[in-house]
Chain A
């Protein structure tokens, strides 16, 4: 069964850097890796997307090794408002379902 796994939860303090990793062993060769943020009672919201190496935008960076079997979302200086659940989304090479969300990581940022 194709799986996309993430740590269940992480704790941090304001101003710290947070790195969340997603493991996706059976990722398809030719599609993006995308990360989403979800607040309670809302739909997921796009954060960042990449295919390989490193991508950076105004809110985050995404690190993807050459084999693409994992990806790491980096939030440079978190604030209280970054408390949310973070998901990776990939297309898998195997398994009955191809488009798979990660298990989600609940990030709690404290003062």
Chain B
């Protein structure tokens, strides 16, 4: 298996532009997570899905952020409009929660490094 795939790996954009980050989870996994990592705030959960349904989006910073999972093999995280403070590494992760536990082993993608100028 190729693991969790994220694209792009790097994104540089200007303030006000729309940014779309993409994730392909490991086939067969039930959960998909979006995280943001910065030096100041560490690793933060933004949103997670179970069987394509958003379960907890309390970590989404504000209305400028949105996430979708139209099917089991694809998810997007969109920022519109982007701001310099959105600069961070965004990770996607997936898990096969066979026991039904949300903290079951997560497999992380390589991340997307976003820079908003």
Residues of A participating in the B interface, judged by any CB pair closer than 8 Å: 30-34, 36, 41-46, 49, 87, 89-91, 96-101, 103-104
Does B27 make an interface contact (CB < 8 A)? no
Does B105 make an interface contact (CB < 8 A)? yes
Residues of B contacting A30 in the complex (Cβ-Cβ under 8 angstroms) = 101
Pick from A32, A41, A43, A91: contact of B93, CB under 8 Å: A43
Residues of B contacting A91 in the complex (Cβ-Cβ under 8 angstroms) = 102-103
Q: How many A-B residue pairs have CB under 8 A?
A: 64
Chain B interface bracket (under 10, 10 to 19, 20 to 34, 35 or more): 20 to 34
Q: Is A46 in contact with B109, judged by CB distance below 8 angstroms?
A: no
Give chain A nearest CB distance to B92 CB in angstroms.
8
Closest 8 CB pairs of A and B: A43-B108, A101-B43, A32-B103, A31-B103, A46-B105, A99-B45, A97-B58, A43-B91
Q: Is B43 in contact with A44, judged by CB distance below 8 angstroms?
A: yes
Pick from A36, A41, A98, A104: contact of B42, CB under 8 Å: A104
Give chain A nearest CB distance to B3 CB in angstroms.
9
Give chain A nearest CB distance to B47 CB in angstroms.
10
Tell me, in angstroms, the Cα distance from A30 to B4 when the chains sit together.
27
Q: Is B106 in contact with A33, judged by CB distance below 8 angstroms?
A: no
Residues of B contacting A36 in the complex (Cβ-Cβ under 8 angstroms) = 106
Q: A43-B91, A44-B43 are in contact. Are A98 and B110 (CB under 8 A)?
A: no
Give chain B nearest CB distance to A73 CB in angstroms.
15
Residue of B33, B35, B43, B109 contacting most chain A CB atoms (<10 Å): B43
Known: A31-B103, A43-B93, A44-B43. 17 other contacts (CB 8 A): A31-B101, A31-B102, A41-B111, A42-B111, A43-B108, A43-B110, A43-B111, A44-B93, A46-B106, A46-B107, A91-B103, A96-B58, A97-B45, A97-B56, A99-B48, A100-B45, A104-B43
Q: Is B103 in contact with A101, judged by CB distance below 8 angstroms?
A: no
Q: A91-B102, A99-B102 are in contact. Are A44 and B42 (CB under 8 A)?
A: no
Residues of B contacting A34 in the complex (Cβ-Cβ under 8 angstroms) = 103-106
Tell me, in angstroms, the Cα distance from A78 to B67 when the chains sit together.
40
